[in-house]
Amino acid sequence: MNNSNIKKSNSAKGQKNLWHKDGLRFECQRCGSCCRGEPGVVWMTKREAKNISVSLGISTDLFAKNYLRLINGRISLLEHSNGDCVMYDNGCSIYETRPRQCRTFPFWSSNLKNKTEWKEQKKTCPGIDKGKLHTVEEIASRLKPELNDL
Ligand code: SF4
Ligand code: SF4
């Protein structure tokens, strides 16, 4: 998964003029393509690391030792030498507690910049433009930082 950050949330007023004002369709096909292959980073907060370690039934220290790395002072999941995320095992092995970066994909500000960027992402994510219609309000609210992320 690449390292684009979600920093922008759209105001209700601004949403009227957005290219995706009628919403966007997305439904994960569980192909794993965003979790494997190309090297990337999956950022997470300390709180997310703690939640994941609890879900795995191990201490946060052990989770950090086995699954995390520091990049410029920020926490990221390790990846295998082939670029696969360390948590990928025929699907995400921490799906319920996966970090926000994964939970908000593909609704990242970088992918929402314009239709071209969205279509570009579609080349590698077969869930884009399929399934459930997400309203623009829903997308904006999904991208809002959660209390846990602050
Ligand atoms: S690439 Fe898209 S469809 Fe495939 S697992 Fe990732 S989000 Fe789901
Ligand atoms: S944490 Fe899960 S969803 Fe996120 S990149 Fe790794 S395997 Fe994929």
List the chain domain ranges: 21-145
CA of 13 relative to ligand 1 center, distance in Å = 31
Instruction: For residue range 85-99, list pLDDT tens digits in order.
Output: 999 999 999 999 999
Ligand nearest to the CA of 55: 2
Q: CA–CA separation, 25 vs 118, rounded Å?
A: 11
CA of 26 relative to ligand 1 center, distance in Å = 9
Lowest mean pLDDT among 2-6, 9-13, 89-93, 120-124: 2-6
Q: CA–CA separation, 141 vs 9, rounded Å?
A: 8
Is residue 41 within 6 Å of ligand 2 at its C-beta? no
DSSP secondary structure letter of residue 65? H
Amino acid 5: pLDDT:
30
Q: Coil, strand, or helix at residue 132?
A: strand
Closest ligand 1 atom to Cα of 124: 1
Lowest mean pLDDT among 4-13, 41-50, 82-91, 136-145: 4-13
Closest ligand 2 atom to Cα of 85: 6
Determine contact, residues 78/68, Cβ cutoff 8 Å.
Answer: yes
Determine contact, residues 11/17, Cβ cutoff 8 Å.
Answer: no
Is residue 49 within 6 Å of ligand 2 at its C-beta? no
Is residue 87 within 6 Å of ligand 2 at its C-beta? yes
pLDDT, average across residues 42-55: 97
Determine contact, residues 28/106, Cβ cutoff 8 Å.
Answer: no
